[in-house]
Amino acid sequence: MEFADRPATRLATRLAFFVGGFGIACWAPLVPFAKQRLAVDDGTLGVLLLCIGLGSVVAMLATGALSARYGSKPIIVTSGIALALILPLLTVAASPATLGAALLAFGAALGSLDVAMNVHAVEVERAAKKPLMSGFHALFSVGGFAGSTLMTFLLSLHLGALESTALCSVLMLIAMFVATPRLLRAVQAASGPLFVMPRGIVLLIAALTCIAFLAEGALLDWSALLITGKGLVAATQGGLGYMLFAIAMTVGRLTGDAVTARIGDRATLVWGGLVAVGGFAVLLVAPVATLALAGFLLIGLGASNIVPVLFRRAGAQHTMPAALAIAAITTTGYAGVLMGPALVGFVAKAVGLETSFWMLLALLCVVPCCATLVTPAPVRQTGLARD
């Protein structure tokens, strides 16, 4: 295998994560334009938006098998370029059917990139013999912030949606051009069957990943209603909570590799999970806005490194090929993001929104409780060997 522990290879991995976050964030500001252009109602728009999720999930399942056979590089390159090329098409689709097809393809490119870049990240981290996963995942968040900011800025200058997306696509293609020759060329061929049903420790890791993403999805769609409904902030300030959560999560991931290298994967899961649970408790019992917003910060910091650690453990287990394991936890994690808001809404209708958030808190407690099951006993070493 070629040398994987090179600064250029790490740069290429970070660029892949950045392109994924940047691409999906560029689409978000375009949703109102698509609704107006096609003159569809909210129900039809909701169905169209589900096409992204459907395309992603199908592609994630296929990408695990393809990565196990052919390696992650060709999939990263193909899906990253496809993501950039499909983005402008979303602004010119002239009917719900054509937009739905474009969103399916867009979601498939995003899902393929998501799995392949995590498979690649596991290999790069393993070669480095020290934690890098949190930093890689942080670049997805940075890309998301950059994409939404740039697209919003371009549209505010009254530049057309097609022209704005074309410019963003060029930036994504440049990033992929820089990354391509620096990605690992080695193929980690799987010796067993390419399609394996998740089992054993992989099922547990997938369940914990789903919980983490479910909580994040619930915060995205319901946190503003929670704090405004309790009268803690005005309706115009409802987005402050999730904004602070996102900032704290990005900061936590940018510093997470150093923390994990010092205390190990198990302690990161235990203490990160406890801090996130504590943040939920603070948010739910807070009598004033300042304390509630502090709860969002705690949740973001605590949860920031849970998912990167779980991806690392999926790459380290021997129950099934790493590429298939990563595809499994990526798919279940994405399912958590999709299901989270709907499940919270269903429970909130029956018992109230605040009670549903208490139930999320209880569910999140599973993460620190299961930390010892997904990480081996720590030893007195540094880097990845510590877990």
Question: 202-228, pLDDT tens digit by residue?
Answer: 889 988 998 998 888 788 767 878 888
78: exposed, middle or buried (C-beta count within 10 Å: 0-12, 13-18, 19+)?
middle
Instruction: Describe the crossing of helices 306-316 and 322-351 by its angle, rounded to 10 degrees.
Output: 140
pLDDT score at 5:
53
Please state, for a pLDDT cut of 90, what percent of the chain lies above it.
Answer: 32
pLDDT score at 174:
96
pLDDT at 274 over 90: yes
305: exposed, middle or buried (C-beta count within 10 Å: 0-12, 13-18, 19+)?
buried
pLDDT score at 380:
42
pLDDT score at 196:
58
Distance CA 19, CA 14 (A): 9
* Residue limits of CATH 1.20.1250.20 in the chain: 7-182, 201-375
Distance CA 234, CA 167 (A): 36
349: exposed, middle or buried (C-beta count within 10 Å: 0-12, 13-18, 19+)?
exposed
- Encode pLDDT of 307-318 as tens digits: 999 988 888 888
pLDDT at 187 over 70: no
Which stretch of 22-36, 48-62, 161-175, 181-195 has the lowest confidence by average pLDDT?
181-195
Pick the CATH number of 7-182 from 1.20.140.10, 1.20.1250.20, 1.10.3720.10, 3.90.1150.10: 1.20.1250.20
What is the four-CA torsion angle of 77, 68, 61, 124, rounded to 10 degrees?
-60
pLDDT score at 45:
77
- Encode pLDDT of 339-362 as tens digits: 676 777 778 888 888 888 999 999
- In one-letter notation, the amino acid at residue 345 is G
**CA 100 from chain center: how many Å?**
22
The model scores a pTM over 0.95: no
**Residue 29: band (very low, low, confident or very high) from pLDDT cuts 50, 70, 90:** confident
Angle CA(53)–CA(54)–CA(58) in degrees, nearest 5?
Answer: 115
DSSP, collapsed to helix, strand or coil, labels residue 355 as helix
Quote the tokens at residue 257: 């590799």
Please give the average per-residue pLDDT across 79-91, as a whole number. Answer: 94
Q: What CATH class has 201-375? A: mainly alpha
The top-scoring range by mean pLDDT among 20-29, 231-240, 298-307 is 298-307
